Structure 1
Amino acid sequence: MSFGVGFGDIVLASSLAWSVYKACKDSSENFQRLSGDVASLHVVLKETEDYLGEFTDLDMSRVNRLQILTDGCRDTLKDLEKLLRSYDSLGTQVQVR
């Protein structure tokens, strides 16, 4: 079955989660606390990626929920990445302490 959310969407979201995790981990204390949550999200996305690799025949309700979740994760991660970049552009390691 072909569906709206693709394997590539999950892979990209997982990759973005890993990138944001590394940026948070190397940032201020407030962002470091967030890095654990982002690492957990990365693990969930990788598990989803593995699941989709094994089971490609999903019913439409599951596909729709997966698309909503993937879009939400990606959007949130992009917002967080943008926030991290804005702090980096200040040229300081001391963001918000």
Structure 2
Amino acid sequence: MAVETGQKEMLAKEYLCARQMFQLGEIILPDSAWASYLLATAYAQLGENKKTLDELKKARQKGLTSRKSLDDAAFDRLRNDEAFKQFVASLPEAAK
């Protein structure tokens, strides 16, 4: 429920509310890479780059392996950030 509400808030551009919902999602599903990834999208939209990268690293530790998931428009502001580029490079490329 928290994740669904958070996704609705993201679509409505209510990023603070989305962040709160995704934080709840991480509490409910502490081992979920998806929960950390979604929280990273909210942080990215809020311009909180360090927290975005922290959550993406948590998502990777929990099993995120897809570079493709970082194509999300939420991460557009970070495309030129050196730490973000390094994170992207740390993930395997998609199979061709």
Calculate the TM-score normalised by the size of structure 1: 0.32
The structure that has the greater radius of gyration is 1
Looking at both structures, which has the greater relative contact order when contacts are Cα pairs under 8 Å and sequence separation is at least 6? Answer: 1
Q: Which has the higher helix share?
A: 1
